Structure 1
Amino acid sequence: MRISFKTELKLNNRERTQLAKHAGVARHAWNWGLDLCQKILNYNRENPDDKLRFPSAIDLHKFLVKWVKAENPWYYEVSKTSPQYALRHLSSAFSDFFRKKMANGRRVGFPRFKKKGQHDSFTLQGTIKIKHRSIQLPKLGILKTYERLPQGLAPKTAVVSRTADRWFVAFSYEIEPNPTVKMLTAVGVDLGIKTLATLSTGETFPNPQPYRKSQARLARLQKAASRKVKGSKNRHKANMKVAKQHARTANIRKDTLNKLTTHLAKSHSQVVIEDLNVSGLMANHCLAKSIADLGMYEFRRQLTYKCELYGSELITVNRFFPSSKTCSGCGHIQDMSLKERVFNCQQCNASIDRDLNAAINLRNQALILA
């Protein structure tokens, strides 16, 4: 199977400048290509009898070399693959939009223009050598890292991205699945708001709620940034503090989900989860913020590849299965409001925590669906 490895780069000022130049060229190529595609679409809309062929990634690159590079010599200061991959990604974005592809439960929208300092990234292709604590990239040379890198790899491409003031490099490689010895068989996992996850074994994982706990500090930083003069260095510093706080919030969420999904995939041979309608849950304005803070899509994404990596089976139960309304003892189904946290069965008089009851019902589905 193919997995990705991402790590932070240890850079000096010269190297940071070079990375910023690569990201700037990739952003310029993307925005130029998007502007050209928009003009072609508008022309075809106004002239249905004389339509122009929509350009592919190869066409865009030919136009870029002919029209843009000749007028902007700073394109030659960076690797040629940086703008090439930007145009490839733009072409893929248009393909997903035209095919009405779904991502994260939502339809992919029309490509947008990129802004400096927001989601800066670029892709490099060529001779990439991985050493003990450094990586050699085309045009950039050897860049140090803070941690050891996996050895014996020769990736063809690498993605360099920036989050706040930190630069990261990511590459993918093939790895053989490594099944682990499982202590337990099937386990049901019920995601919640107050408790991140409740397992059918009775084990619970607390929800760190990183965004809610950082709201007060984030509000102060954003208010301070809005008071600074636009375009000033102080405003840039204040915006960087806001970006760092957002990055810290995201890192706490990712770390929590990584530990949870690794524990589930390594310790159980079957992991049963519910196919939740995240988009529908987000429509509830009272719970949208808390649901978004859980990172449900990231949880399922990590659990999917980790179950394959560690030799576990991931079972997904239909979203219409009444896991919270069914008694795990006798199977009686009854209505329950969201505020009721204890399931009191009206038939067998059993009393059990609502989330634990749902997790047990999900675990029992593993025997039915097997």
Structure 2
Amino acid sequence: MKKGNVYRIYPDKEQKTLLEQHFGATRFIYNRSLSIKNLMYDKFRINVTEIDLNNNLSSLKETFPWLKDINSQSLQQANRNLLTGFKNFFDGNGSFPTRKKKKDNHFSFQVPQNYQINLTASLIYLPKIGWMKIVIHRDFLSKEFIENNLVLKEVNGEKILDQKLNKEFRILKTLTVSRTLAGRYHVSILVEDNEPYPEPESFTEETTVGIDVGIKLFAVLSTGEVIENPKFLKRSLKKLVKLQRSVSRKQKGSKNRKKTVAKLAKHHQLIANQRNDYQHKVSMKIISENQAVCLEDLNVKGLVRNHCLAQSISDVGWSEFIRKLIYKAEWYGKTILRIGRFEASSKSCNVCGYKKDNLTLDIREWECPSCKTLHDRDLNASINIKKIALNNLNTAGTAGRAYGLTGISQRYEVGSHPF
């Protein structure tokens, strides 16, 4: 079973400079390799392989000497990520790879091997960068597992876990270093404990729950439980507007402007952390209390094109919440069932099946003309989602839809997500 855990690191001033160089260099190699691969195929119909791209790194280091200061494994990993992007595209699980831009604010690079973790002093060593403080707030592997399955070395009485010494066990996987807009540095440690994923537990109609996600309410369950939407972004809009206006008033390039931009970024980071924490708590509660969860396959990308709803949809974070439900279901042997996005879950009466075609978004309650049942829009939708999902499963006569990994959701490697 693969799992990733994210920890905060505290580099010094010199190490921050080295980290920024690694961010820029891996982005440079990715874009350079993308140009080469596209050019060779367009002009000569030649498919450039990973070996060809890695061999080209030697000549690039002669042309750009600053690349010699970068961990070579990280540069090679950039090429590997590019080819993975092409594979996902041709498999129908992603878009065509495009150039990475600094202004997109995605700062990360990967360290496939040769990193070390000082378990005694809470330090981490990255090649070409050195030792720095790390806050290990949760164990990425249990102490018993480390002692029984991995090799530890002792230096001055301190226990150090060296990835190189444990390479043959294939437990310590790739380490990813990233930086947020607020200037905080993190490492994500991916490990594989060689334990199989638990078999999905059997479920019945009573142990299955349907979920209808929304904007006014975060989610409504088919059991009648209502989960409120905390609206973290909306609650902070006034402060964000005030900070943004303060940034606009500062002279470009000034130190005061940089300080204000940092304050704005930290507040955005706070909102993202609040939303992430809330989604983890809600998803964990739902997974632990039910054997199967029924969801609707929403076209979130299409929905956010509506400028009237875009901010609210982004604030609630439907895609990320569903992603958390899916990988936690696999971790704990639970089942995710999906229904099509064009199913009339809100417009159909869950009692008699009557379909109300003229149901608009502003109507929160409606009475069925056929059976005279008064429906709450969201509760009715969640009940219908459960009914449709179970009916589809019985009709298919197979458990192949058990984790709901159909279509776009297959692009995620469920068990390797952080947190």
CA distance in 1, matches of 2:255, 2:267: 19
Percent identity of equivalent pairs: 38
CA distance in 2, matches of 1:201, 1:209: 23
CA distance in 2, matches of 1:246, 1:101: 33
After superposition, the C-alpha distances for 1:57-98 in whole angstroms (9 at most, x for unaligned) are 3323322311x212433323231112222232234345555x
Deviation at 1:322, TM superposition (A): 1.6
CA distance in 2, matches of 1:337, 1:202: 22
Contact 1:181 1:266 in 2 (8 A): no
Q: Which residue of 2 aligns with 1:53?
A: 46
Is 1:158 matched with 2:175? Answer: yes
Q: Which residue of 1 aligns with 2:373?
A: 350
CA distance in 2, matches of 1:113, 1:223: 29
Q: Which residue of 2 aligns with 1:138?
A: 127
Give the match's secondary structure for 1:201.
coil
Contact 1:4 1:173 in 2 (8 A): yes
Deviation at 1:265, TM superposition (A): 1.0
Q: Which residue of 1 aligns with 2:66?
A: 74
Give the alignment's TM-score, normalised by structure 1: 0.85
Q: 1:87 to 1:273 in 2, by over 3 A?
A: same
Deviation at 1:343, TM superposition (A): 2.8
- What stretches of structure 1 of length at least 5 have no aligned partner? 45-50
Equivalent in 359, 364, 367 of residue 382 of structure 2 = 359
Is 1:111 matched with 2:136? Answer: no
Deviation at 1:254, TM superposition (A): 1.6
One-letter code of the match for 1:29? I
CA distance in 1, matches of 2:269, 2:316: 15
Is 1:63 matched with 2:36? Answer: no
Is 1:263 matched with 2:299? Answer: no
Deviation at 1:166, TM superposition (A): 0.4
CA distance in 2, matches of 1:167, 1:125: 18
Give the alignment's TM-score, normalised by structure 2: 0.75
Q: 1:113 to 1:38 in 2, by over 3 A?
A: farther
Q: 1:315 to 1:93 in 2, by over 3 A?
A: closer
After superposition, the C-alpha distances for 1:216-237 in whole angstroms (9 at most, x for unaligned) are 3333333433444444444433
Q: Which residue of 2 aligns with 1:170?
A: 188
CA distance in 2, matches of 1:323, 1:52: 48
Contact 1:25 1:82 in 2 (8 A): no
Give the match's secondary structure for 1:69.
helix
Aligned residues: 357
Contact 1:9 1:143 in 2 (8 A): yes
Contact 1:128 1:156 in 2 (8 A): no
Q: 1:278 to 1:270 in 2, by over 3 A?
A: same
One-letter code of the match for 1:73? P
Contact 1:128 1:155 in 2 (8 A): no
One-letter code of the match for 2:187? V
Q: 1:15 to 1:207 in 2, by over 3 A?
A: same
Equivalent in 295, 304, 313 of residue 273 of structure 1 = 295
After superposition, the C-alpha distances for 1:149-205 in whole angstroms (9 at most, x for unaligned) are 323274132110000210111122235446899996011101011001001111111
RMSD of aligned Cα (Å): 3.0
One-letter code of the match for 2:108? S
After superposition, the C-alpha distances for 1:230-252 in whole angstroms (9 at most, x for unaligned) are 44444433333333233222222
Q: 1:180 to 1:254 in 2, by over 3 A?
A: farther
Give the match's secondary structure for 1:171.
strand
Q: 1:90 to 1:116 in 2, by over 3 A?
A: same
One-letter code of the match for 1:166? R
Q: Which residue of 2 aligns with 1:320?
A: 342
After superposition, the C-alpha distances for 1:113-171 in whole angstroms (9 at most, x for unaligned) are 42178211111122334454443333334433222432327413211000021011112
One-letter code of the match for 1:246? H
Is 1:128 matched with 2:140? Answer: no
Q: 1:264 to 1:64 in 2, by over 3 A?
A: same
CA distance in 1, matches of 2:91, 2:258: 37
Give the match's secondary structure for 1:156.
strand
Moved more, 336-345 or 241-250: 241-250
Q: Which residue of 2 aligns with 1:289?
A: 311
Deviation at 1:365, TM superposition (A): 3.3
Is 1:21 matched with 2:17? Answer: no
One-letter code of the match for 1:89? N
After superposition, the C-alpha distances for 1:10-40 in whole angstroms (9 at most, x for unaligned) are 3333332332232232233234334545665
Deviation at 1:273, TM superposition (A): 0.9
